[in-house]
Amino acid sequence: MHKGLFDLTGKAAAVIGAGSGIGEAVAVGFAGHGAHVACLDVKDDAVRRVVQVIEAQGGSAEAAQLDVTDRAAVERAFDTLHSRRGSLDIVVCTPAINVRKPILKYTDEEFERVIDVNLRGSFIVLRAAGRVMTGQKRGSIILFSSIRSQVVEPGQAVYAATKAAVLQMVKTAAAEFGPDGVRVNAIGPGVVETPLTAPIKADADWYRAYAAKTVFNRWARVEEMVGPAVFLASDAASYVTGTILFADGGWLAADGRFTPPGM
């Protein structure tokens, strides 16, 4: 009876940020588990390439350009997918930006840009998906938070604030949408090799320092975010809502500062 718990066959999924990084990996992973995937990203050429990858592997997908901060466009994309496929079963939102600066050096424009994409964009997606899914009485919404919702470092004030806010929105939406059969959860990655973290990877000392914060002494691959996403999207997580699943290589579990003698 448990064999099909992770099967997404017949599900219609929208993955925002599917043009690269974690979003791309999740889109390909969902298709591999049977879902029809709408690959959405601000970069049109990128999502069309991802659709070609999915179709070459025998999956079902479509592509469209989408700016996560464009409320009307997000609502239209979800309504269109729901109308064509008969349901909107899964929505994943991955886009985020980070301006690494001390608080005293942050400009108003930088603050607004990070807030606009990370927080306002996530809220737009959450609200639009919630309206469709509560109407159909089912669905799974997955937003991306971060370990920065829990721990910080210098230069992360605004990014960390948005990721903590995403988690609180997830909890609230789970409480509000739950009576209508809609689940809402977050994934909290640690350090993952993506375009967003490329500047860190380019600095060997910085890269090694982050790797050493994990118990595996390495960064995550984008493919390692697929399993958590598939779990939260699938019937395997039918009683899981309002929480965050950390995929951080043990970053939050161990302080990483010192190994006692004899250990």
Q: Please state, in angstroms and as integers, the Cα–Cα distance from residue 185 to each residue in 37, 43, 233, following that order.
A: 19, 26, 9
Instruction: Determine the Cα–Cα distance for residues 165 and 75; give it in Å rounded to an integer.
Output: 22
Q: What is the pLDDT of residues 86-143, one digit of tens each?
A: 999 999 999 999 999 999 999 999 999 999 999 999 999 999 999 999 999 999 999 9
197 lies in a domain?
A: yes
**For position 236, what pLDDT does the model report?**
97
7 lies in a domain?
A: no
- From the candidates 106, 159, 207, 210, give the one annotated as an active-site residue: 159
Q: Please state, in angstroms and as integers, the Cα–Cα distance from residue 161 to each residue in 61, 214, 245, following that order.
A: 34, 22, 18
- Model's pTM, two decimal places? 0.95
Residue 263 in this model has a pLDDT that exceeds 70: no
Residue 227 in this model has a pLDDT that exceeds 90: yes
84 lies in a domain?
A: yes
224 lies in a domain?
A: yes
Minimum mean pLDDT among 1-5, 52-56, 213-217: which range?
A: 1-5
Residue 3 in this model has a pLDDT that exceeds 80: no
156 lies in a domain?
A: yes
26 lies in a domain?
A: yes
225: containing domain: 12-246
262 lies in a domain?
A: no
257: confidence class by pLDDT, cuts 50, 70, 90: low
Closest by CA position to 257, among listed 213, 220, 191, 211: 213
- Measured in degrees and rounded to the nearest 5, phi and psi for residue 20 equal -165, 170
Mean pLDDT of 45-60: 98
What is the number of structural domains in the chain?
1
The verdict on whether 159 is a catalytic residue reads yes
20 lies in a domain?
A: yes
Residue 255 in this model has a pLDDT that exceeds 80: no
Mean pLDDT of 17-29: 97
**For position 259, what pLDDT does the model report?**
67
Q: What is the CATH number of the domain that holds 65?
A: 3.40.50.720
